[in-house]
Structure 1
Amino acid sequence: MPKSLIASAEWSLLLSRLRALAPEAFDSQGRVLNLVAREWGNPGHGKPYLSPVDGSQLGLLPMIDLSTATHAVASAAAEAEEWARVDLDTRKARVSACLDLLHENHELLALLLTWEIGKPVPQSRVSVERCISGVKWYVENIESMMEGREPLGLISNIASWNYPMSVLMHAALVQALAGNAVIAKSPTDGGLLSLTLAMAFARRCGLPMSLVSGSGGKLSEALVRDPHIACLSFVGGKVNGRDIAASLYDRKKRYMLEMEGVNAYGIWRFSDWNQLAKQLKKGFEYGKQRCTAYPRFVVERGLVPRFLEMYLPMLTSLKVGHPLLGETRAAEPPSVDFGPLINSGKVEELHAMMSEAEAKGAIPLYKGRLEPNLFLPNQDVSAYLGPCAFLHVPRNCRLYHNEPFGPVDSIVVVDTEEELVTEMNVSNGALVASLACDEPETARRIASELRAFKVGINTTRSRGDREESFGGIGQSWQGCFVGGAYLVQAVTEGPPGERLFGNFPDYTLLPEKR
């Protein structure tokens, strides 16, 4: 990090810059406001909003009640009718103007993200850049995608905290570009301030955006089931996703529900260990707090010694620490591979899962320690967890069946291809899977049996964007698939009788084999 940016990473300075750029989004007491009925207002019931980086308070979440959310939805739906009549060239110009503002302030947005969700600065910059470049691609290609299609109306967005810019804001801008109004809920655990700034830019550019904060359970009647909502985009856990899917089953409402699954990497008849080590180390970015992270490795018994010879040194090489340490000290320490998890509660949850597995017979292969030189003196480190790995996790453990959503790996040893496939398909559907194998025909045969939307052979897979579609199989996804033209199709109405590309309760339409 250039030394000229050291001082700019201090939170008080970032907050001052934010308030100067978007004064309309704060009240006279400095409280963040909600964006309702085209105006910023209503600080709601303030809930302390803490940084995972050091436990400090960043502000107050402006938590609103159901009646306010219902009013916000009704107002946004009225705006949707107006926006649908705006021509495509005007929509493109306004979205492009918003992208210009995001680009001008990309460094501030990245630093806000780091404080809010704990992502190291270089990774935060990538998140902001992907939002900007991804939406720009849609602006350049939207004409052909919109041929013969009309906007749906009001799109509701409920997303997890880990990608507020490159997932939530990206989707919202494309939805508006396609002629819809947008209402989004700020993730409760992170992303409030970066989204507030981005939404302030969008509203300033004349885009029909609303942003509210509150309890998902309390606001779901408005943001999920209200008849004004034409389409729901949800990214989150399986439990909440199942409840939402059940509530939408008998309603004629468009939806995209991205939920969790255990993404597995299989190793079978393989020898390129150096290349695999690079993939697995990169996979620990952001502490594996990604829907496309690989927490489960299924290894052929005869390859276990070579796998561990590669894997354990890779784990020991990972650096976990304060993601802004280089921003707050004149001396630049080694960069960290990942910083904190989203909060101390998540760390406690993972410790409970690991303790249960160990008590029932799992073998702890590695438990990473936190190095003091990668933290500030007397810093709160309760949200930090070093990488951990377990062998032979029993089937009656949560760690066996559930996605940890953190830096905790499980290693499963198998003897046959049938076992390999069974253990890789443990979660009844996943977003991604990969297979490391030297034999192309064997790899293709095994890959065809894996229940994942994307399968990589000797490489990892990711969400992707632009032309690349994204979805899930089984319990990992319900509704329309997205990405490329499919994202536009998901939020627009096509010709009568159109069958959307997706994964629905009444039928399943999957992509051709990878």
Structure 2
Amino acid sequence: MISMRTLETLSGGEWVAGTTGEWIDVLDPSDVRAPVARVPALTPKDVTRAYDHAERGFAVWKRTSPFERARVLTEAARLIRARAGEIAADITAENGKTLTEARGETLKAADFLDYYAGLARQGYGTLLHDARPHTRTHTQREPIGVILVISPWNDPLITPARKLTPLLATGNAAVFKPATETPLAGLHFARALHEAGLPASVLNVVTGRTAEIEEALLDDPRIAGITFTGSNAVGNRIRRRLADRNVRFQGELGGKNASVVLRDADLAFAARTVAAASFGQAGQRCTATSRVIVEQPVYDEFVGLLVAEVGALKIGPGRDPATTLCPVSSRKQRDSVLADLVRAVEQGATVLTGGGADTEGERVHGCYVRPTVLAGITPEMAIWREEVFGPVLALRAVAGFDAAVEAVNDSGFGLAAAVFTRDLGNAYRFADEAECGQVAVNSTTTGWDVHLPFGGFRDSGTAYKEQGDEVLRFSTRVKTVAIDFGTPERTRG
């Protein structure tokens, strides 16, 4: 058991405990008997104060040299790398993922800071031809203002890094709401930026119970944009709330990601890769593979290999170096996954391996779900169509390539898909025909580097992408400037 700590949150450049003295416990999913930390439960008044600070911070930061912005981000990246062990331990404690996964998330967060530090130094506009004589016209990008950042519990550091870093690099200010269950990683990120010299009030962190502060959080008139990662239900509720306001909304929402295994694939490699994509972080990635579509001639062989891979996973707490399958993030999430499994079996699915909670030994105190592979799936079943967000994989056999692509696209979601094949023609056809924002060939559906645009189609997200320079469409606005410099005689006059 880890000793419990009390942490404050960052608002107006100071570390504060809020106005009420109320706290929220942070639990370790591997053993929920005692909290590992507590953070302030802020009130609506505290949230409004955070926006007051952000408004002032924006007035300073938008006029700050991009070279100074880059310096702050670079120093924050250095601090995060220097503290990688401490930060990874806290991610594991609050989220449950393995230390290897947590350390990878920590270092990737530092990569985001370095990448956007470099991007901050680049040109920010374009010189355009103008039909008028003696006229030079250009565009320039400007920050949009105060942006609300709402991040999820499954990637408590990399998602804030993905969202906050580009908006800070381009001169915006932020109010940041980390997930109630996993605030520690976000506070680490804020501390690194604060200690790197980010001016007071540019970044303000709101810890609290969303239901108690939702109105103050979402309805403040100073919000220029909201970037959100989470469920479709919450994302759509935010979108409706913003419908009559001139507020940008960037949403990275649900997924039901499919991997296709064609008859010519390296089946052993495909089984290992699919298992990693499905059960890493206990399946709690928005890009995790949750559906597998296999050509009929190789279905039985592939399933045998996959079940063997899944059976070799070692369930345990994330802090144990031997663990390869961590607990899910909370009792609530565990119960949701188990309910989905019960419904799948009731609708006719067959459990090939796993199924149910794992309560063996000390795991009885945690949030463990056995890694589960389901067969006998039909397209009408909820397990095939709805996001589970846990260590659950559903299998279907199809007749050939065309049927496989049809099955991939037969979804309301469109985040990620993969195909395993040795046929280059099929690889390119799949890339063209899969209606997803990310397509992989002979690779996992998960894992995209910081400079690669990220985001889904359909119900998986909004038109504003994350990552790379594509995110600048969300965090900046374009101004067109025309200057008539006249003839030399007019200029001298």
Aligned to 2:104: 126
Q: Under a length normalisation based on structure 2, what TM-score does the superposition of the two structures give?
A: 0.87
Q: Distance in 2 between matches of 1:371 and 1:481?
A: 38
Contact 1:428 1:451 in 2 (8 A): no
Counterpart among 437, 441, 445 of residue 461 in structure 1: 445
SS where residue 406 of structure 1 aligns? coil
CA distance in 1, matches of 2:426, 2:363: 50
Q: Does 1:38 align with 2:30?
A: no
Name the amino acid aligned to 1:297.
V
Tell whether 2:239 aligns with 1:245: yes
The corresponding residue for 2:92 is: 114
Q: Structure 1 residue 295 and structure 2 residue 287: aligned? A: no
Which position in structure 1 is the counterpart of 2:49? 71
CA distance in 2, matches of 1:226, 1:100: 34
Please identify, of 456-465 and 292-301, the stretch whose mean Cα deviation from structure 2 is larger: 456-465
Partners of 2:67 and 2:120 within 8 A in 1? no
Structure 1 distance, partners of 2:375, 2:439, is 24
Say whether the 8 Å CA contact 1:318–1:337 is kept in structure 2.
yes
Determine the C-alpha separation between the residues in 2 that align with 1:464 and 1:109.
21
Per the alignment, do residues 415 and 220 of structure 1 end up closer, same or farther by CA in structure 2, a change over 3 Å counting? same
Structure-1 separation of matches of 2:463 and 2:204: 24
1:206 maps to 2:197: yes
Aligned-residue offset at 1:171: 2.6
Task: Please name the residue that 2:341 is paired with.
Answer: 354
Give distance in 2, aligned partners of 1:299 and 1:397: 18
CA distance in 2, matches of 1:353, 1:484: 35
Residues 1:256 and 2:250 aligned together:
yes
User: Where does residue 389 of structure 1 map in the other structure?
Assistant: 373
Structure 1's 282 and 439: CA in aligned 2 closer, same or farther, altered over 3 A? same
Tell me, what secondary structure is at the counterpart of 1:349?
Answer: helix
Report which of the two has the higher share of strand. Answer: 2
Q: C-alpha separation between the residues in 1 aligned to 2:156 and 2:307? A: 33
Aligned with 1:408 (options 388, 392, 397): 392
Structure 1 segment 340-379 matched on structure 2, within 5 A: 340-367=327-354, 378-379=362-363
Pair 1:145–1:354, CA change in 2 (3 A) = farther
Deviation at 1:40, TM superposition (A): 2.1
Q: Which residue of 2 aligns with 1:196?
A: 187
- Per the alignment, residue 475 of structure 2 pairs with 491
Secondary structure at the aligned position of 2:90 is classed as helix
Identity %: 24
Q: Give me the CA root mean square deviation.
A: 2.3
Shift in Å, 1:306: 1.7
Distance 1:235 1:324, change over 3 A: same
- 1:89 aligns to what? 67
Q: Deviations over 1:429-453 (max 9, x none)?
A: 3211012233322343344222211
> What secondary structure does 1:325 align onto?
coil
Structure 2 alignment gaps of length 5 or more: 126-139, 482-493
The equivalent position to 1:226 in structure 2, one of 212, 220, 234, is: 220
Contact 2:41 2:207 (C-alpha < 8 Å) held by counterparts: yes
| Number of equivalent positions | 460
Kindly tell me: are residues 115 and 411 of structure 1, through their superposed partners in 2, closer, same or farther at Cα, counting changes over 3 Å?
Answer: same
Q: String of CA shifts for 1:461-498, please: whole Å, max 9, x gaps.
A: 3352332111110010013112111123321122459x
Query: How far is the alpha carbon of 1:120 from its aligned partner?
Result: 0.8
> Matched residue of 2:440: which SS?
strand
| SS across alignment from 1:149 | strand
> What pairs with 1:153-168 in structure 2 (closer than 5 Å)?
153-168=145-160
Where does structure 1 lack aligned partners over 5 or more consecutive residues? 1-9, 16-29, 327-334, 498-514
Give the direction of change, closer, same or farther, for the CA distance of 1:316–1:462 in structure 2 (3 Å limit).
closer
Using the TM superposition, give the Cα deviation of residue 371 of structure 1 relative to its aligned residue in structure 2, in angstroms.
Answer: 8.4
Report the CA distance between 1:59 and its aligned residue: 2.6
Tell which has more relative contact order, 1 or 2 (C-alpha 8 A, sep 6+). 2
> Rg: which structure is higher?
2
Shift of 1:369: 8.5
Instruction: Go from structure 1 to structure 2 and tell me whether the alpha carbon gap of 1:211 and 1:145 turns closer, same or farther (over 3 Å shift).
Output: farther
| 8 Å contact from structure 2 (residues 44, 217) kept in 1 | no
Match of residue 143 from structure 2: 151
